[in-house]
A and B are shown apart, each in its own frame.
Chain A
Amino acid sequence: AQKVTQAQTEISVVEKEDVTLDCVYETRDTTYYLFWYKQPPSGELVFLIRRNSFDEQNEISGRYSWNFQKSTSSFNFTITASQVVDSAVYFCALSDDSGGGADGLTFGKGTHLIIQP
Chain B
Amino acid sequence: IAGITQAPTSQILAAGRRMTLRCTQDMRHNAMYWYRQDLGLGLRLIHYSNTAGTTGKGEVPDGYSVSRANTDDFPLTLASAVPSQTSVYFCATKEGLLNNEQFFGPGTRLTVL
> B107–A43 contact, CB under 8 A?
yes
With contact pairs A44-B104, A44-B106, A97-B99 given, residues A107 and B44 touching in the complex (Cβ less than 8 Å): yes
> A108–B42 contact, CB under 8 A?
yes
Number of residues of chain A lying within 8 A (CB) of chain B: 28
Q: Size band of the B side of the interface?
A: 20 to 34
Does B23 count as interface, using CB distance less than 8 angstroms?
A: no
Give residues in B with beta carbon < 8 Å to A.
Answer: 31, 33, 35, 40-45, 48, 50, 56, 58-59, 88, 90, 92, 94, 97-104, 106-107
> A110–B31 contact, CB under 8 A?
no
Contacting residue for B42 out of A33, A91, A102, CB 8 A: A91
Q: Which of A93-117 contact B (CB under 8 A)?
A: 93, 95, 97, 99-110
Contacting residue for B45 out of A9, A105, A108, A110, CB 8 A: A105
Alpha-carbon gap, A105 to B45, bound state (A): 7
- Closest chain B CB from A89 CB (angstroms): 9
> A109–B40 contact, CB under 8 A?
yes
A contact residues around B104 at 8 Å (CB)? 37, 44-45
